[in-house]
A = this chain, B = another copy of it.
């Protein structure tokens, strides 16, 4: 398959995670989920939408990786940089790759008797639990333990090539947002406006558009994670659209607010407050800053501006092969920003009951400080006149 990265980049990912695995006494890491499978193998497929067949990738403590995949996927992996590809004739519900996977795991050198899986924070094992329990039994004295900290640690630091794809995605969506005031009008529905935006994003070269959320209301919204609805925009509304588009699997994740006609002053002031909070966060988002400090910096702007609360629970997060990745900018997350991280800065505030204004930019943390990947929104809310 054509890969978006050099074989050397995949080899580097594997050796970095192997270093983490040593710290956690793991004989192997067993990958089952789409983003991690793609991260380590380069597989570019949306076939994960079909729940019929599991896919497995084994990273041993040392030596050659092994892909254990259904026959339908074998042509994609054979001949790639991956050491070995094993496959079984799927579907085969009575033994959906489990015995083949078990053999491959049992064939590995056994030092600690521990195999890491995606069992922890922000991780999901993508195989039927019944099959996982059967696998566990077949491995006898080998224990399945949480390998997710090793994976997140490695994924958190992006290569230049990864950042480039995020930047491309941000750029395509920035262009589409800039164009929105030229076509969006009062009387249109959230869905119609978002549809035109989506077309611009695909025409701009995004490879996929896995996330479009939208909400609207007089002077704000109560949430902004639902799909665009058939609600018609009226005078005084604020419309937010939040977009996760991808280039080679790498997401942007940012939103923009659009006011229609006569928007309440309080909403406009809230929009300036979240913009100011972003500016304050950008001033301190350099290597060495803790994400909890980023949160505090933003709260120091939002609270005096009249923040009642926020149901989002954090003011930004990591970004990469998933729409959101650790860390979370909030108290209790002790992550320190490092060179190579990509994060969102995402202040939002409920300024009146049921009325929220949110704002988001995407940022690459470099040695010399934060570099914006999104085109910075203006401080004043874009207003679409009637």
Contact = CB atoms under 8 A, between A and B. Distances in A.
A290 interface: no
A70 interface: yes
B211 A49 contact: yes
A195 interface: yes
A25 interface: no
Interface string A298-327: 000000000000011110010000111110
A43 B225 CA distance: 10
Interface in A92-150: 92-94, 117, 119-130, 146, 148
Interface in A32-71: 43-47, 49-52, 70-71
Contacts of A74: 311
A75 B223 contact: yes
A202 B195 contact: yes
A120 B128 contact: yes
A159 interface: no
A244 B70 CA distance: 20
Interface string A327-346: 01010100000000000000
A91 interface: yes
Given A49-B244, A225-B72, A128 B121 contact: yes
Contact of A322 (B1, B50, B120, B229): B50
A73 interface: yes
A261 B34 CA distance: 37
A76 interface: yes
A39 to B, nearest CB: 13
A378 interface: no
A11 to B, nearest CB: 22
Contacts of A127: 124
B122 A51 contact: yes
Contacts of A198: 202
A313 B124 contact: no
B91 A330 contact: yes
A106 B216 CA distance: 38
A222 B75 contact: yes
Contacts of A283: none
A326 B211 CA distance: 26
Most B CB contacts (10 A, CB to CB) among A49, A127, A222 go to A49
A9 to B, nearest CB: 18
A199 interface: yes
Contact of A199 (B202, B211, B225, B323): B202
A52 B199 contact: no
Contacts of A280: none
A20 B235 CA distance: 49
Given A49-B211, A50-B324, A124-B128, 17 more contacts: A2-B230, A2-B231, A45-B213, A45-B227, A46-B213, A49-B244, A51-B325, A52-B317, A52-B326, A71-B311, A72-B311, A72-B313, A91-B330, A117-B129, A121-B128, A124-B125, A210-B210
22 contacts: A2-B229, A43-B226, A45-B213, A49-B322, A51-B123, A51-B124, A51-B322, A51-B324, A72-B311, A76-B226, A90-B313, A91-B313, A91-B314, A92-B313, A93-B121, A120-B129, A124-B125, A128-B148, A129-B146, A191-B207, A199-B199, A208-B209
